Chain A
C-alpha cells in the first residue's frame, strides 16, 4: 500500500492525485493527503507519476507502514521504479530494448518446469 509521502520533496504538483486510479490521494494545502489508503491496490503507478521521487509504496498490499524517513531516503528506493522504467527518458533511450525477451524467457521457464516434471516421472 501507499505508505509514505515525503513532504520535503513534494512540490504539490498533484500528479499523484490525477494518476491514482482508486483516488487514494486528495488535494491538500501544501501536499496531497493520503485520504483513502484502503483503496490502494499496490500498483506503484503513483510512483511513476511523481517526478520528485517523493512517494513510497510498501510492497505488502495490506501494510501501510514505512521505514523511518532517514532509512527510506538512504535506501535508494525512492524513485527506483521510475528510473528502472526510464519513464521520463526520451523515446530513443532504449528503455524497452530488452522487452522482446519477455515471451522467450517466460516460455523457457515453462519448458524447464515441464522437463523437470517429465524427468521426475
Chain B
C-alpha cells in the first residue's frame, strides 16, 4: 500500500483519550515534535469524555500516602506493585492542577478549588486545549491501521486512513505510544464505540505480550434504552414486571450484586426503583451529570418516581485491568520503540486483580501517559536519524489475507465477540467447559478473518476493529480458562477459591495459537 501522505515526528501517539492527551502534553514539554492520531476526535473520544473521573488523590503526607498504598496493595490480591502505586499518586497530585488555565475547577465548599474529580467533557476539552497550547499536532479522524517496523523489528511509525478522504497516511516517528483505550466489545457502554482494542492488536502483531486479560468481568447499570453514568442507581431496588422485588445484594457486594442482576435479566425484564435514592440527588443530578438527566427527561420519565427497565452494559477491559504488559518504569512494551499508556496497558501494577475503579484507573491514565510521553521523547531524541530507513507494515488479519479475499459479515463477527465475553451466563458463571466452547466459536471467526479479510478505506478501519475485538475476546477467555482459580474480579464458578500457586500475573498473546504463560514472580509485595 502506498501512503499518500507521509509525515515525520519525534513522538507519535495513537489514541485520543486522557492517557493520549497527557502523553502528548508531557512529550511536547520536553521539546519533542509530537503528533497525535485518533480514530475519533481528541476531546470527545473514549470513555473519559462522557465520564467524570475522580482521580486517586492523596495529599503530600508520607503517612497518608503509605497508608493509601498499603490499602491498595492489599486489595490488589498479590498482583500489584506498591512502587507504581506511590508513583502515580505523586504524579497525579502534581500534574492534575496544571490544567487550571483550561478547566473551570469548581468550589471545594471551603473556599478552595475541588481538583480531584473532573467532569468528562470539560476535562477532555481542557486536555485538548492544553496539548494544542504545547504545540502538539492533533489529527482527528485519522485511525491507525498498523504499526511499521525497520529491519531490526524496531517500531518506526504507523500507517492509517484519513477518514474524510479515505486516503492512506504514514507517519515516521522516533518512538510511538499506544493509548487507544481498553476494549468494550461494542457493548453500548457510553463513550466506548471506538474502544475496539486496536492498540492491543497492533502491539501483539509487533511482538508484545498482554497481561491480566482474565480480569475483564465488569458491567455498569443503566436504563435499558441507553448507557449513562451510574450515580443515580446506587440505592436502587429492583423488581420484575409482576411487581415482585428481586433479591439483589447491594452494589458494595461487587460480583454478587452484578451476578444477581444478570441472573434476573436472563429471566426477563428488570425494573429499577429509585425512590430510596438520596433526596439531595433530585436537585443536584442535573448540576453534576446533565447528560444522565437528558436520558430520562426526553422520554418523559420521572426517574425518582417511576420504575424503568434497566440492563447491564459490559465494560470489557475498560473497568477491568488487562492490557499490554509494561516491562519497565518508562512504560515500555516488549517491543523496541513502542510504549503503552492508560487502559491500553495492563493496570495490574496499580490495580492487581481487582478493578481499578474510576480513581486508580484515572490516576494511572494520567501518570502512565506522562511517563510514556517523556520516555518516548527521550528515546526519539537519542535515535534521531536523517534518513527514512526501509520499513514494513506489521498488520496481518484484515490487511494481508492468507487466502482469497472474501466479503465477510463483519457485524456478525463483532456481535459474536461481544456475546462470548459479555453474555451474563457466560461471564458471571465462568467455567472451563463454557470457556472452551466460546474459544472454539471465536477461533472459527479468527481463521475466517485471517484467511479472507480484506478491505480499503473506511471499511478497512471497521474490519480491523472486528479483528481486534475477536483477538481481544480470545485473549480474555484464554486467560480466564488458564487462571484455574477465583481471584479479584476473575470469578470462576467451577473453582471458587484462590490458589496461592496462581499469585502471579498471567501473560497471553498470539493469534492462530493463543498462548498463556505465568509471569515471573513479583518483587516483594506489601502485605
A residues touching B (Cβ–Cβ < 8 Å)?
18-23, 39, 41-45, 48-49, 57-63, 77, 80-81, 84-87, 89, 91-103, 105-106, 108-110, 112-114, 116-117
- Which residue of A has the minimal Cβ distance to B192? A41
Q: How far is the CB of B220 from chain A (nearest CB, A)?
A: 13
Given contacts A23-B163, A60-B226, A99-B106, contact A112 B278 (CB under 8 A): yes
Q: Of the candidates B41, B233, B288, B294, which one forms a contact with A59 in the assembled complex, judged by CB atoms under 8 Å apart?
A: B294
- Which residue of B has the minimal Cβ distance to A44? B291
Q: Of the candidates B107, B252, B278, which one forms a contact with A94 in the assembled complex, judged by CB atoms under 8 Å apart?
A: B107
Q: How far is the CB of B247 from chain A (nearest CB, A)?
A: 8
Q: How far is the CB of A91 from chain B (nearest CB, A)?
A: 4
Q: How far is the CB of A53 from chain B (nearest CB, A)?
A: 13
Which residues from A are CB-within-8-Å of B278?
105, 108-109, 112
Given contacts A59-B296, A93-B104, contact A113 B140 (CB under 8 A): no
**CB–CB B44/A21 < 8 A:** yes
* Residues of B199-238 contacting chain A, CB below 8 A: 225-227, 231-237
What per-residue 1/0 map shows which CB atoms of B95-138 lie under 8 Å from chain A? 00000000111111100001001110110000000000000000
B residues touching A (Cβ–Cβ < 8 Å)?
16, 39-41, 43-46, 49-50, 52, 54, 103-109, 114, 117-119, 121-122, 140-141, 163, 188, 190-194, 225-227, 231-237, 249-252, 276-278, 280-281, 284, 286-291, 293-299
Other A-B contacts than A97-B106, A109-B231, 4 sampled, CB-CB below 8 A, are A41-B190, A58-B298, A99-B106, A100-B107
**CB–CB A45/B251 < 8 A:** no
Interface pairs (21), CB distance under 8 Å? A19-B44, A20-B44, A21-B16, A21-B193, A22-B194, A59-B295, A85-B121, A85-B290, A96-B122, A97-B106, A97-B107, A99-B119, A99-B287, A108-B278, A109-B233, A109-B277, A110-B234, A110-B235, A112-B276, A114-B251, A114-B252
Which residues from A are CB-within-8-Å of B227?
42, 61
Q: How far is the CB of B298 from chain A (nearest CB, A)?
A: 4
Q: How far is the CB of A86 from chain B (nearest CB, A)?
A: 8
- Which residue of A has the minimal Cβ distance to B106? A96
**CB–CB A116/B108 < 8 A:** no
- Which residue of A has the minimal Cβ distance to B283? A98
By secondary structure, the B interface counts as loop
Q: With the chains together, A81 CA to B290 CA distance in Å?
A: 6
Q: How far is the CB of B169 from chain A (nearest CB, A)?
A: 16
Which residues from A are CB-within-8-Å of B45?
21
- Which residue of B has the minimal Cβ distance to A75? B298
Q: With the chains together, A116 CA to B294 CA distance in Å?
A: 29
- Which residue of B has the minimal Cβ distance to A115? B250
Q: With the chains together, A77 CA to B191 CA distance in Å?
A: 22
Q: With the chains together, A63 CA to B224 CA distance in Å?
A: 13
Q: With the chains together, A103 CA to B57 CA distance in Å?
A: 13
Q: With the chains together, A74 CA to B193 CA distance in Å?
A: 32
**CB–CB A84/B104 < 8 A:** no
Q: How far is the CB of B316 from chain A (nearest CB, A)?
A: 15
Which residues from A are CB-within-8-Å of B293?
84
Q: With the chains together, A35 CA to B279 CA distance in Å?
A: 42
